[in-house]
Amino acid sequence: MTLLPEILEKANVLLFSGDQDLICNHIGTEYLIANLTWHGKQGFQNAPKLRWTVDNTPAGVWREERNMTYVQLYNASHMVPYDVPLAALDMMNRFMGLDPKLQSFTSNLETITGDVPPGGQRVDMPNGSSVRKYVFISFCKKRF
């Protein structure tokens, strides 16, 4: 909670959780985001929930705003790439700005209508930055 806002000032950050993960569940990740202040605002302000499909199958919910991307993946537990490899690959490719049309499978993001406010477009690094910076973070703390 103390380092992440500073990281978000300098790099795009991807947080993701599988909806079946009992160790680091999506409720905790969403609580963290809702209570985190970055770029002078708390939580997502205008980031719509986007319905995400991979190969015409529901893959999860996608949100992004102010350098923060959060993805909740359906039918995935603690080992997201093992559980849903195509969705994990598409998630990484989209986050890094790669064209999803170049993949050998289809994927799509569409706005979920309802009580979700409009807006919340991707925030890229400022113009003039020749290198994009990415940070992948896992908030799971395991004791042995």
62 domain-assigned: yes
Tally helices (H) and strands (E) across the chain.
Answer: 4, 8
26-43 core/surface letters (b: 16 or more CB in 10 A; e: else):
beebbeebeebebeeeeb
40-71 pLDDT tens trace: 999 999 999 999 999 999 999 999 999 999 99
10 domain-assigned: no
128 domain-assigned: no
125 domain-assigned: no
101 domain-assigned: yes
CATH of residue 24: 3.40.50.12670
141 domain-assigned: no
63-95 pLDDT tens trace: 999 999 999 999 999 999 999 999 999 999 999
Domain region containing 92:
15-117
Helix (H) or strand (E) holding 35: helix 26-35
4 domain-assigned: no
Which residue is associated with the tokens 């499978």?
Answer: 105
123 domain-assigned: no
Which residue is associated with the tokens 């997201």?
Answer: 80
- Over residues 111-134, mean pLDDT: 49
Number of domains in the chain: 1
